[in-house]
Chains A and B, each alone.
Chain A
């Protein structure tokens, strides 16, 4: 959520000017002395649809024609309509119309679905309390200030401030699963002063206002203040925070009903503000396509220009321009020459416009859309545990999966399981391990098995109480009857698995947390007594402070602060002298890869507490800068504490995490681990998952190597230069970076958040300003990089930094938690893990898989195949259209540059739509030039396609050469054939249309056979579409020429094809020309294959025999 930087859409213009909004609860004005300017809020109508019936056509068309390709075809079409062009407007109008219509229908349908969903939401029934009466309203009629009643299991119709609930204490439970994916129940609170108002009538008299900030998209932030006016009494002011806010879209649970006042409605609710579409990611292939497109556009324009010029050169001879047999019309003669030149140019453009095929865009879209199903269908991605497979959120990036160079991975929940297990703890430096043998019943000594020595009994108890109290875990009973506590039915729910592990750990030692009731936390101690603590304040966890605290009062009235957090944040805040003993343990635990937390406490006198309480309340009450103020207060409070001990929790590595990392490494990818964890823990995880090998030399840029003195920057500078030299010495040539791995010494880099911000945010006058470049170079030369102590935004910063280095490598981010969303959105490809920390990452990702290990198949097999498929698709499309148009261009030299089309209009139109479209589509969906198993097993194959290898200019020009060669062969082969007096045994002659049809037949057969030769994976579908297309072409030609078409003015194709096939010479020529056309390609393949004759290599490749090989693997 940190990156919700999307602009806030404004409902009313005046809203923009006001910092806060004032809301009158129940729409009842209060006796405010100041003059009051009524504010205008938008209604509660949700509009997620893009179009209405009226604006659908113009708006949709406008959006479609904003795409450059569609616009181009529209222009061509308009030229054809207005100017006298050789081909009828139908030839380009029909495909364009088809594409536009299909897209419009698709988008219209999607919008209709949105309309329906909107309507359902907007017209749902809600109950509003107005002047003591309960009124039935449609949801869209809710206005800001209305008091809304919500029943159990209903979703909130707008953002509400909880006033009261059917629970006595004024709390209610909600789940925000549909908002952020966290399925646990959260408790929301009402202000004490209003929680008693739980009848309809009581709301008739209330007179209060709420002041709160203007709507903003952050789900977890809300700042407000409620003023309650009573007769003859000063108004009561209470602060409101996110714990008082009920978000639209969340669901009320375990509470009969609540009353709340609407603060944000309609498009201003936090949900609506978060509903901004994600920014469009574009794949590298698309960029290549655009590059090729420009080449072909240049080709097109130059062809048209050449023809136009030559036409006028040729026409300068009078008898060429207007021979007696072909006079011009009067109108023709009188047209201004400049205009004629221009029209001629346009005509040539139209004649050759097929070189840029509209159908390519359609086919590419279809390929991406249909192709992405294979990921969702893959049963290897199915996880038994969560009973789900992969999720594809976008189909635009399939091929990008085959191009990844940098992998950024989160640690917790991604590389590791995120199922925390309490391993051990230490109290005052004494190590405790839970008894491996489960013991029933809690005797005094059973629970704790100290290693050798043990701490004082009271310290032990204090530590365990701290574990039991300092958390935000909720309890849920399967049996709802209060009072009966059976621990078997007690389940803990929390957004943080660490806390559950700790509470469960405490339970093993005999202290059981029982839950919270009426602000009192209850726990059962080792003596099976129930202790109650009044929860005074919770100082919640945030990633900046990296700790959380609670302030509680026990039955005797003693007030304690318990704090737990990362060692780095706790150690500076505890009294010295206590640290040393614990530190040893913490460091050893971290080396073992455990997550460590330190626990500290502090006791307050009543007087002290009074001051603290005052400060906290003040800060909470603040309307502006509340965050900063709170942080400051917390910082003051959590100080000078007493360290009790530390805990160690293990986060197990995910299944096959190490193998996957190794495979990614072998595939030439660089894996960076970005984690918020501490360095030692992260480092050990990295060793465990083989990101760092034992022989990897580690370069450290952390606060440890740099120190914390004032010489920080100088020291950093020294280190940077030092490392840089070292690396450059090892890699004298840049080229060897990738291939050189394994031969050279491997380097790994460790950097932490503070050092990173020192490098990235160096002040202007600092010597470090230009060391970002050096740092980058160091990063590039390291095989593995570990970034620890990262804030979520820093993760995104790193991704952005790598994204922008020279050559703009393709980056992939994978993570499972909300803190990874920023980097998932930032990188080229974002992968979400359907993990335990909610579904936020999965929802914001492009692809989501259940486990990290699935990355291997996703990249190495799917990514590789998608890339090869789409690259071939694109190259083939350009190839076949150049082949198609080149003869037409050459024909201009033999028809006096008169724009006479070589092919019939039907053939021009059908070429890309029917005759050659399906085979390539089938190929681009089914091709496996190397089988999936081999691809998954041998990561080195991935390197073959790295750097967009198949869409570089080299291959592109090879294809272009092929098509130019073939086009020339087709045309001149037929040209020489037609030098004959007659081609039929009855001596009759053929005309220009037969000539074109001959070229066209050779063309269709050759490009289809070329694809057939490229196909390495012939399923029945390929057979069907390839041979089917050819058969269809033949049938269509017979049919097209077999009838006098009533609606055509010219019957130019009548029996042309049938006559052509009666000529033996034409048959022979067609066969010869197909062979000649394919010859260079056959030669290339054979040369490649003859060289690759070692048996070992051939095993790696495909079966050598031409045989029908059924893969026997039990598939149906």
Chain B
């Protein structure tokens, strides 16, 4: 673009393409000649993608089990009854779910838990956290944010660490996977990898423990109280020093509030050498430590084994949507073509040369 001001006459308007509204311009028009092939191309491309997505999604295996323990269903009824309408913490209660795999469950296998009717996205709940405290800031540890109320301080006035409703309601059921290679054979425990389940950035940057005092994390938390629902303080979440305190991966995962009231969260990955290809054929049992009450708010709990592909977990929606929209494009394309030809014929006299 060259801008030039014409000099003669101060009052004379500048004769530039811009001032005269005559900038060079691309003037596209979606004419039938362009759009019809476009419809077919897009349609075909979408159908192709849709098929790929659909088969990928179908290739993903999921095994799930509802262990809420609603009366008469499943093995966890007893546990559920114990904890019914009682605020946590609960006495430990265990139940078991067994299933058998007729063939290899293609790996890598991930273990999820699912909660439903749990509003992690309620506004009061979402704001009830203190990211400064979770980043290990000493001052925030002693002075939790007001948003954390009513889980900001204990009745005695001690600051709660970690404060807030999210932390307080940390999911605390635990699962142990046992594998029976031969019928009636011994049960081997399948090692569950409880690390690498949180976002790398959360685990390494966003969440930090306060600096240990004399090498002890416990001392760093001195003067704070555990969240009321927790059975043990935050520094005792795990014996592994890299997985305890605020950087406990279960905790970090839990703190990423879910978008919808029914949500799944990653519990563990199965990647032990023996199981790197997946879960071999045989019988499995999951020992569930049932702590977390969901019946109180009409919720449900599930445990899910899922394999993961390039597109993530099982999700038939994308494939179907692509297929539908692709077909729609093609159908529209055909309709348009017919209309187009009709119109061509109607005023077809001079149209041949175009």
Contacts and interface: CB of A to CB of B under 8 A. Distances in A.
B150 interface: yes
Given A1017-B27, A1051-B131, A1086-B336, A325 B168 contact: yes
B138 to A, nearest CB: 16
Interface in A393-445: none
A318 to B, nearest CB: 9
Given A379-B13, A984-B312, A1109-B27, A896 B318 contact: no
A326 B123 contact: no
A514 to B, nearest CB: 36
B73 interface: no
A674 B196 CA distance: 85
Contacts of B12: 379, 382, 387, 389
A1101 B122 CA distance: 54
Interface string A360-384: 0000000000000110111101100
B129 interface: yes
Interface stretch (B181-189, B262-270, B281-289): B262-270
Interface in B259-301: 259-261, 263-266, 269, 293, 296-298
A1095 interface: yes
Given A898-B124, A980-B314, A325 B201 contact: no
A378 B13 contact: yes
B312 A329 contact: no
Contacts of A1065: 311-312, 315, 318
Contacts of A1075: 42, 46, 325
B121 interface: yes
A326 B122 contact: yes
Contacts of B328: 1079
B321 interface: yes
Nearest to A1066: B312
B75 interface: no
B28 A1018 contact: yes
B257 A991 contact: yes
Interface of A is mostly: loop
Interface string A1000-1026: 000000000000010011111110000
Interface stretch (A147-155, A720-728, A969-977): A969-977
B214 interface: no
B29 A1106 contact: yes
A165 interface: no
Given A973-B321, A1018-B28, A1101-B29, A1055 B199 contact: yes
Contacts of A994: 259
Nearest to B298: A319
B27 A1068 contact: no
Given A985-B308, A988-B266, A1044-B205, A1090 B340 contact: yes
B266 A985 contact: no
Contacts of A979: 315, 317
B215 interface: no
A989 B258 contact: yes
Contact of A1116 (B4, B264, B297): B4
A1086 B347 contact: no
Contact of A1044 (B130, B135, B296): B135
Nearest to A976: B317
B351 interface: yes
A1111 B17 CA distance: 10
A987 B311 contact: no
A324 B296 contact: yes
Contact of B25 (A980, A1017, A1054, A1083): A1017
A320 B297 contact: yes
B344 interface: yes
Given A894-B261, A1019-B25, A977 B315 contact: yes
Interface stretch (B32-40, B97-105, B231-239): B32-40
B21 interface: yes
A1075 B1 CA distance: 34
Contacts of B336: 1086-1087, 1090
A982 interface: yes
A900 B169 CA distance: 19
B15 to A, nearest CB: 6
Interface in B1-45: 1-4, 9, 11-17, 19-35, 39, 42
B94 interface: no
A280 interface: no
B334 to A, nearest CB: 13
A376 B129 contact: no
B197 to A, nearest CB: 7
Interface residues of B, number: 114
Given A1094-B347, A1116-B2, A1068 B135 contact: no
Interface stretch (B112-120, B217-225, B240-248): B112-120
Nearest to B350: A1095
A488 B142 CA distance: 101
Given A319-B297, A981-B306, A1051-B131, A926 B23 contact: yes
B154 interface: no
Given A932-B21, A1021-B23, A1104-B31, A982 B13 contact: no
B289 to A, nearest CB: 19
A1089 B122 contact: no
Contact of B27 (A992, A1018, A1079): A1018
A389 B308 CA distance: 70
B68 to A, nearest CB: 14
B311 A1064 contact: yes
B122 A1095 contact: no
A995 interface: yes
A217 to B, nearest CB: 31
A290 interface: no
Interface string A5-49: 000000000000000000000000000000000000000000000
A327 interface: yes
Interface in B322-350: 322, 325, 328, 332, 336, 339-340, 343-344, 347, 350
B199 A988 contact: yes
A136 interface: no
Interface in A485-541: none
Contacts of B310: 985, 1064
Contacts of B266: 982, 987-989
A1048 to B, nearest CB: 8
A1111 B25 contact: yes
B49 interface: yes
Contacts of A978: 259-260
B165 A326 contact: yes
Contacts of A1082: 30, 35
Contacts of A1018: 25-28
A1087 B257 CA distance: 45
Which of A983, A1059, A1106 has the most chain B CB atoms inside 10 A of its CB? A1106
A231 interface: no
Nearest to A975: B260
Contacts of B121: 894-896, 898, 900, 992
B312 A1102 contact: no
The 7 closest A-B pairs by CB, nearest first: A981-B313, A980-B315, A325-B169, A995-B259, A377-B19, A323-B297, A319-B297
12 contacts: A319-B297, A320-B119, A323-B296, A374-B21, A978-B260, A983-B312, A985-B309, A1018-B25, A1082-B30, A1093-B32, A1093-B351, A1108-B24
Given A378-B13, A928-B25, A1093-B32, 16 more contacts: A327-B151, A328-B150, A377-B13, A389-B12, A976-B317, A978-B260, A985-B310, A989-B264, A1050-B129, A1051-B131, A1051-B135, A1065-B311, A1072-B322, A1089-B29, A1089-B31, A1109-B24
Interface of A: 86, 317, 319-320, 323-330, 373-374, 376-379, 381-382, 387-389, 894-896, 898-901, 926, 928, 931-932, 973, 975-992, 994-996, 1013, 1016-1022, 1044, 1049-1052, 1054-1055, 1058-1059, 1063-1065, 1068-1069, 1072, 1075-1076, 1079, 1082-1083, 1085-1087, 1089-1091, 1093-1095, 1101-1111, 1113, 1115-1116
